[in-house]
Amino acid sequence: MHRKIEIIVNNSELAAGTRGASLGPGAIMTAARKANNPFFGLYPLHPLPDYNRFLDQENETEFAKNLIPFKLVFESVAETTRDILNKGAFPLVLAGDHGSAAGTIAGIKAAFPDKRLGVIWIDAHGDLHSPYTTPSGNIHGMPLSLSLGNDNLACQRNTPSEKTVRIWDELKHKYTNSVKLNPSDLVFIGVRDTEHEEDHLIAQNNITNHTVESVRKEGSKAIVAHVLEQLQSCEIIYVSFDVDSMDPEITSFGTGTPVGNGIFPEEAEEILTLLAQNPKTVCIEFVEVNPCLDNKINTMAETAFSLLDSVAAALKS
């Protein structure tokens, strides 16, 4: 099944807690050029507007840092994703921080409002916080809460400002008249670093997490089979790949929040290529490469590019 690939480049790091993720997409492009691979000359590129200048201004939204400019990023990602899907192409998204995924999910639902969406979240973290529960205020820990429309008020620890609540609620419902994602249609792979508020939501909604141990024991093919069986009622699937899902000792520490004992690059490649070959998959996103933190020069970006190249090959096969 040959897919017409178009690449979205979102350099935003407004939602991150450490600086440097905005350089991630460029570092991946550098890795391709270092390998003399013309990858980024093969497909249409959609570079999104850069709003990182707002990092130099005072934050106005309590418990959701940079939410006002993040709204601009969210809209830009959503509308570009929607437009690419509406013309029958396949968006590959390269983003700085994982906050981008909230916009991507919104864009997919805008393109397919009547289709049931499954989300496969390959990450070390659950990203299920809201402004009401966040310990850090960093929005890259909130994209799934935004997509699920669940603020987890049972575990509330914060009282966000009126402005924060207004913008947050607007984004929860933007581009769709219903919830963008049902918890039964969310599957984790490799999640291993969560706070108790997230654990509450995971347990309350029976969200499946295929742990690193299960990937190692059963193998990537079996895990993908389990995931697709769970999501068989979904008509479309989005795959979100955070490079911190991988073991930093094997790859590098070139990501904002590395967590030990992750999946191996070979496992990530098999999982991603199998999912790319699934005709229900409509979008795949790569996030959180941070070359400023890379202890092995640009190894994380080189690893991410290798995975991206394999995904593109699978999409065209």
Give the pLDDT confidence score for residue 317 in this predicted structure: 87
Domain count, the chain: 1
- With a CB cutoff of 8 Å and minimum separation 6, the contacts of 32 are 38, 39, 40, 305, 309
Mean pLDDT of the chain: 97
Give the pLDDT confidence score for residue 1 in this predicted structure: 67
- Rounded average pLDDT over 140-151: 98
- Which CATH number fits the domain that encloses residue 200? 3.40.800.10
- Tell me the residue range of the domain where 120 lies: 5-316
CA distance linking residue 257 with residue 245, whole number of Å = 10
Strands in 90-95's sheet, in edge-to-edge order, are: 45-47, 5-10, 90-95, 281-287, 236-242, 117-122, 186-189, 208-210
CA distance linking residue 57 with residue 77, whole number of Å = 22
Residue 155 pLDDT class (50, 70, 90 cuts):
very high
Whole-prediction pTM: 0.98
